[in-house]
Amino acid sequence: MYKTHTCGELRAAHASQQVTLAGWVHRRRDHGGVIFLDLRDRYGIVQVTVNPNLSRETLEAVSNVRMEWVLQITGTVQKRPAGMENPKMETGEVEIIAGSIEVLNPAKTLPFMVSGENDLPDENTRLRYRYLDLRRDRMTRNLILRHKVVKFMRDFLDQEGFIEVETPILFKATPEGARDYLVPSRIYPGQFYALPQSPQQLKQLLMVAGLDRYFQIARCFRDEDLRGDRQPEFTQLDLEMSFVQRDDVLAMVEALYTALIPAVTPHKKLLASPWPKFSHHEVMEKYGTDKPDLRFGMELIDVSDIFAQSDFRVFQSAIEAGGVIKCIVAPGCADYSRKEVDALTESAKGLGAKGLATLAVTAEGLKGTAAKFVKPEEAEAVKSKVGAKEGDLILFAADERAIVNKVLGGLRLIFRDKLELADPDMMAFIWVVDFPMFAWNEEEQKWDAEHHPFTMPQLDDLSKFETNPGDIRSDAYDMVCNGYEMASGSIRIHRSDIQLKVFQLLGLSGEEIEQKFGHMLEAFEYGAPPHGGLAPGIDRLVMLLADEPNIREVIAFPKNQTGRDVMADAPSEVPQKQLKELHIKIA
Ligand code: ASP
C-alpha cells in the first residue's frame, strides 16, 4: 500500500506516530519558509507542515507542488499547539510534520476548483470533467449515501427472505409507456433486441418459476422526451412477491423505508407511521394531483354548492357547463399586491385556467377580483367553510373538474415554495391506491393502461370491461413522497384469460398479442401463483435524502439535460464497417 493511514482518520491519539499518507493537494499556503499543504483523500483532509529544515531535493520538489497534485507524504503526527486547533476540520487537532514527500503525479490546472461549493462552472463543464466534479466533498458524500441506501435495501430484503436475481438487458420490448431503446442484431439481420423499460415481465416469470420473493437493483431504459428531471437510464429497486395481496406488499416496503431513512439520514423525519393511504380519487380532489406533497395542508375545497345561484358570470358558466368551483386558502396573503396576484393569474393560466378569482379577507372587509360579484351571504358561507381568517387570500378556480384540480394543485405548490410551507427535513410518505385501470387516449382514440398491462383489474369491476372500461379500478398503488412519485406497483394478472381481455381492450390484435406477449400468456398456463410487487426509484430517493435539486446530482455519470454524455461524447457516429456488420444504413 502507498499509505499507512487515510487523511481523514488522524486524531490527537495518533500523536508522535510515524505515518505515510497518499492523496491530493487540496490547498497550499506559504508562510515565510514554512509551507502548509492540506492533503485530501476520500476519507478527509489533514494539514501537512513542511519545515525549511528538510533536504534540498524535498524542498525543491515541494516548491513546484500545486493544487490537485498527487503526493505521498511520510511524516510524524503532532498535536497542534493549544489555540491552534482547527475545529472546522475533523483532523483539526493534529498536523503532520513532513519527513519526506514524493510526487506521484503532477496535475494541470483544473478547469474548476474542487475545494469549495462556490465558483462552480455550468453543469455541462461539470459533466465534461465529471471525474473532477466527483472529487468535490458534496458529490463524494452523495455517492456514499447512495451506496448506503442500496446496501441497506439489500441487507433488509435478504433478512426478509428475498433473493437478488439479475435479469437480461438485451431483451424484448417491455412496455412502461415510453419508447424502447433498440439494439440491432448482427447475427439476425433486421432483428432487434429491446432494452427493458423495467424487468416487469421477467420478475413475473420469476414468480412463475417459484422464487417467491425477488428483488434487483435494476437499471431501466426509457427513450422519453427529456423534459423535466429525467434520465434515459435510471435505477429502481425492483421487487416482486408471490401469494400476496396489496397490503402485504405495501407493509413490506413501508417497513423497509421506515427502517432505512433513520439509518442513513437520522436528521430526516417521517410524516406518520403507518403511512397514510389515500384513494386516487381522494388525492385528486384534495390536492389536485396523484402525487401530492403532504408536508403542508392547503387542501382544495369544493364550494360549488355555495355558488349554485351565483350572480358572478365566471362561476355561473362553470356550473352551467357541469363544472365545479373550488378554492384554496393562502394564509397571510390578503395584502398581495396587484402585481403578485397578476403573476399568480398568469401561473393559473399556464396550468389551463381561463382566469383566477380571488377574495382577500381584510380588516376593511373583502377585497380581491371576486369581491364585488359575491353576495355577502355567499362570502360568509365560504369563509366559514374554508376556515379563512383575516389576512388570508382565497383563490378560486371555476371550470371542468380536471382543470380546476390541476390549476389549484399547481398553485398549491407555488405557495409551498413562496411561503416555505414544507419542512425540507420531512419525508411525507403516503400510499395512493385504487387507480383507474385505463385512461382514454384522445389522440389515438383508444384505451391505454394507466399503469402497465400486467396490472390486475379489481375483481369487482370485471363486469365493466364490456360496459364502461373507464370506471374499472385497478389493484395498482403508488408510493408518493414530498410531491414525487417514488414507486409504482400493482397486484398482477396471473390468469391468462384476464390478461387476454386486457390486451384486447388495449386494442392489440391476436397476432400482436402472440408476437409481443405470447411467452407471458403461455407462462400463465403453467401454474402462475398470485403475485404482486413494485419498483421504487433509487435516484429520486437519494436525491431527496441528499437535499439535491435533481437526480443528476446523485448519479455518478449522468447524461446532461439534452441526453448527451458530454464526457465521452455519446451518442456518437460509428465506423461504416460496424454499421455494415449490423446491416444498417443511415437514411
Ligand atoms: N415495472 C413497474 C415500473 O417500472 C413497477 C412495477 O409495477 O413493479 O413502473
> In angstroms, what is the span from residue 488 Cα to ligand 1's centroid?
5
| Sign of the CA dihedral running 143, 147, 150, 152 | negative
Helical axes 538-545 vs 137-159, angle rounded to 10°: 120
Question: CA 128, 132, 134 angle in degrees (round to 5)?
Answer: 100
533 Cβ closer than 6 Å to some ligand 1 atom: yes
> In angstroms, what is the span from residue 376 Cα to ligand 1's centroid?
51
Number of the ligand 1 atom closest to the C-alpha atom of 455:
7
pLDDT of residue 262: 97
Q: How many CB atoms lie within 10 A of CB 505?
A: 19
For ligand 1, atom 8, which residue shows the shortest CA distance? 534
Pocket test of ligand 1: the residue of 233, 236, 520, 531 to mutate, having most ligand atoms within 8 Å of its CB, is 236
Instruction: Give the strands of the sheet with 163-164, arranged side by side.
Output: 163-164, 213-221, 233-242, 531-536, 484-491, 476-481, 429-433, 277-279
488 Cβ closer than 6 Å to some ligand 1 atom: yes
Task: Report how far residue 348's alpha carbon sits from residue 354's, in angstroms, rounded to the nearest whole number.
Answer: 8
Residue from 63, 62, 79 nearest 71 by CA: 62
For ligand 1, atom 7, which residue shows the shortest CA distance? 489
pLDDT of residue 36: 96
pLDDT of residue 118: 76
Residue 22, classed as helix, strand or coil, is strand
> In angstroms, what is the span from residue 535 Cα to ligand 1's centroid?
5
φ and ψ of 182, to 5 deg: -110, 145
Task: Report how far residue 377's alpha carbon sits from residue 365's, in angstroms, rounded to the nearest whole number.
Answer: 13
| Sign of the CA dihedral running 447, 453, 458, 463 | positive
Q: Which amino acid is at 108?
A: K
200 Cβ closer than 6 Å to some ligand 1 atom: yes
Cell numbers at 69, concatenated: 497534485
Q: Which residues pair with 233 in a beta bridge?
A: 221
493 Cβ closer than 6 Å to some ligand 1 atom: no
> In angstroms, what is the span from residue 281 Cα to ligand 1's centroid?
21
The answer to whether residues 319 and 378 touch, using CB atoms and an 8 Å cutoff, is no
pLDDT of residue 431: 98
The CA distances from residue 487 to 273, 421, 566, 575, in Å, are: 18, 24, 29, 40
Task: Report how far residue 483's alpha carbon sits from residue 422's, in angstroms, rounded to the nearest whole number.
Answer: 11
HEC string of 445-468?
Answer: CEEEECCCCCECECHHHCCHHHHC
490 Cβ closer than 6 Å to some ligand 1 atom: yes
Q: How many CA atoms lie within 13 A of 69 on its CB side?
A: 20
482 Cβ closer than 6 Å to some ligand 1 atom: no
For ligand 1, atom 4, which residue shows the shortest CA distance? 198
φ and ψ of 313, to 5 deg: -50, -45
Task: Report how far residue 548's alpha carbon sits from residue 77's, in angstroms, rounded to the nearest whole number.
Answer: 37
Number of the ligand 1 atom closest to the C-alpha atom of 239:
8
- Give me the DSSP letters along 274-296: SPPEEEHHHHHHHHSSSS--TTS
Residue from 49, 46, 52 nearest 26 by CA: 46
pLDDT of residue 12: 96
> In angstroms, what is the span from residue 449 Cα to ligand 1's centroid?
13
Entry pTM: 0.94
Task: Report how far residue 23's alpha carbon sits from residue 227's, in angstroms, rounded to the nearest whole number.
Answer: 40
**What is the β-pairing status of strands 213-221 and 277-279?**
unpaired
> In angstroms, what is the span from residue 51 Cα to ligand 1's centroid?
61
Q: Which residues pair with 398 in a beta bridge?
A: 325
> In angstroms, what is the span from residue 218 Cα to ligand 1's centroid?
11
Number of the ligand 1 atom closest to the C-alpha atom of 454:
7
Cell numbers at 85, concatenated: 486547533
Instruction: State the Rg of the chain over Cα.
Output: 30
**What is the β-pairing status of strands 163-164 and 213-221?**
parallel
249 Cβ closer than 6 Å to some ligand 1 atom: no
Task: Report how far residue 417's alpha carbon sits from residue 428's, in angstroms, rounded to the nearest whole number.
Answer: 16
Q: Which amino acid is at 392?
A: D
Task: Report how far residue 242's alpha carbon sits from residue 226's, in angstroms, rounded to the nearest whole number.
Answer: 35
Pocket test of ligand 1: the residue of 215, 219, 234, 238 to mutate, having most ligand atoms within 8 Å of its CB, is 238
HEC string of 162-215?
Answer: CEECCCCCCECCCCCCCECCEEECCCCCCCEEECCCCCHHHHHHHHHCCCCEEE
The answer to whether residues 256 and 271 touch, using CB atoms and an 8 Å cutoff, is no
Q: Which amino acid is at 542?
A: V
Task: Report how far residue 422's alpha carbon sits from residue 410's, in angstroms, rounded to the nearest whole number.
Answer: 15
First to last CA, the chain: 54
**What is the β-pairing status of strands 357-362 and 393-399?**
antiparallel
The residue whose grid cell reads 395584502 is 335
**pLDDT 10s per residue in the chain (587 long)?**
999 999 999 999 999 999 999 999 999 999 988 999 999 999 999 999 999 999 998 998 899 999 999 999 999 999 999 999 999 999 999 999 999 999 999 999 999 999 877 789 999 999 999 999 999 999 999 999 999 999 999 999 999 999 999 999 999 887 788 899 999 999 999 999 999 999 999 999 999 999 999 999 999 999 998 777 899 999 999 999 999 999 999 999 999 999 999 999 999 999 999 999 999 999 999 999 999 999 999 999 999 999 999 999 999 999 999 999 999 999 999 999 999 999 999 999 999 999 999 999 999 999 999 999 999 999 999 999 999 999 999 999 999 999 999 999 999 999 999 999 999 999 999 999 999 999 999 999 999 999 889 999 998 998 999 899 999 999 999 999 999 999 999 999 998 889 999 999 999 999 999 999 999 999 999 999 999 999 999 999 999 999 999 999 999 999 999 999 999 999 999 999 999 999 999 99
Q: How many CB atoms lie within 10 A of CB 287?
A: 25
pLDDT of residue 349: 97
Number of the ligand 1 atom closest to the C-alpha atom of 203:
8
176 Cβ closer than 6 Å to some ligand 1 atom: yes
